[in-house]
A and B are shown apart, each in its own frame.
Chain A
Amino acid sequence: MTDDRRQTTDNRSVGGGNGLPSPVVCPPSSVFEYTLRLADNALILGHRLSEWCGHAPVLEEDLALPNMALDLIGQARALYAYAAELEGEGRHEDALAYLRDAGDFRNVLLVEQPNGDFAVTMIRQLLFASYAHPHFEALAHSRDATLAAIAAKAAKEMAYHVRHCGEWTIRLGDGTEESHARAQAALDELWPFTGELFEVDATERALVEAGLAADSASLRPDWDRTIAEVLAQATLTRPRDAWMQSGGRAGRHSEHLGYILADMQFLQRAYPGAAW
């Protein structure tokens, strides 16, 4: 347990009632919730990328995609371990990853979208990483020392994802007629899932004000800039910001998540506690 968190917990007894402004109250359960959101995003997207292993169009990309998957699964492990510690109910990181059902997952809908063709996978990764990179950079300054340390490491990993997927998006968009059409179709298909990335609910707002969480909403201009630069070079058209899908953080998922969990959780469910 970090000093920062103890201090946050202590804050609950201070202020209010005596004319002082009420301090921001952030019970450990809200840090748990936030950590779980980050972990679920990383795990589900990591699983999606791992589905490419052995199926990528060329050897080089067959290594690049699992490399990115392993970055994300590594982030998920660190975050789940911390979430389990915050929860304090003796659950292990594996229980959070493998023994929760779809309604308990807190990932954004973007990361559970199917891999589609190569363009869909690359553009999904670009859209997410361009959000996650500045998010982790900001979170690296969190007053929660554990989250800050995880974020500092993850920020570098996500920076590479932005670069790799950005370069691919440029080449697909500014490539052949077919690659351009597929890249534009992928962008159009995934765009309605980007709004959810920047939602900040009351739980997260309180954590932001307490200096514990990164403020997703304030990162929007960073994301817009990164995406605009890539799309300009890729000669792709930014879709209109119309209706945005939402609900992942409340546990309302697309049907895709159930299939992911069936695949991912089968072993632990069929053989509880199996290890190697």
Chain B
Amino acid sequence: MADKNWPLWEVFIRTRNGMAHRHAGSVHAVDAAMALQNARDVYTRRGEGLSIWVVPSAAITASDPADKGLMFEPTASKIYRHPTFYDVPDEVGHM
């Protein structure tokens, strides 16, 4: 037995009310089929979902928190990207 710990998988669940799959947490499992079952057993015990994705945690490429400045701060000054400058006629109602 090479590794003492099983590989880690990220779990994404689509809830009953539609919407996209959302990250729910992670599980350890020897392979994809077992990861799916473990995700079912750990994260859907109270009827939380109708669909599960599992992805090897190692397959996720994450941004570096140290890059926060160069990655995300430049957008802070570009408020014109928010669609809040339009005059919406009253007749349109709630959008």
- Please, how many residues of chain B have a CB less than 8 angstroms from a CB on the other chain? 13
* Bound Cα distance A58, B29 (Å): 10
- Say whether A117 faces chain B, with CB atoms less than 8 Å apart: no
Closest A residue to B37 using CB positions: A164
Q: Which residue of A lies closest to B5 (CB)?
A: A58
Complex interface bits, B28-58 against A, C-beta within 8 A gives 1, otherwise 0: 1110011001100110010000000000000
A58 touches B28 (CB 8 A): yes
Q: A67-B45, A167-B33, A171-B30 are in contact. Are A60 and B1 (CB under 8 A)?
A: no
B84 to chain A, nearest CB (A): 45
Please tell me the size bucket of the interface on A.
10 to 19
In angstroms, Cα B45 to Cα A63, docked, is 9
Interface of A is mostly: helix
Do A59 and B42 form a contact, CB below 8 Å, given A171-B30, A176-B1? yes
Minimum Cβ distance to chain B for residue A56 (Å):
11
B contact residues vs A (CB 8 Å cutoff): 1, 6, 27-30, 33-34, 37-38, 41-42, 45
Per CB-CB distance, the 6 closest pairs between chain A and chain B, nearest first, are A60-B38, A64-B41, A63-B41, A63-B42, A67-B41, A60-B27
A residues adjacent to B (C-beta < 8 A): 58-61, 63-64, 67, 163-164, 167-168, 171, 176
Return 27 A-B CB contacts under 8 Å, by A number: A58-B6, A58-B28, A59-B28, A59-B42, A60-B27, A60-B28, A60-B38, A60-B41, A60-B42, A61-B38, A63-B41, A63-B42, A63-B45, A64-B37, A64-B38, A64-B41, A67-B41, A67-B45, A163-B37, A164-B37, A167-B33, A167-B34, A167-B37, A168-B34, A171-B30, A171-B34, A176-B1
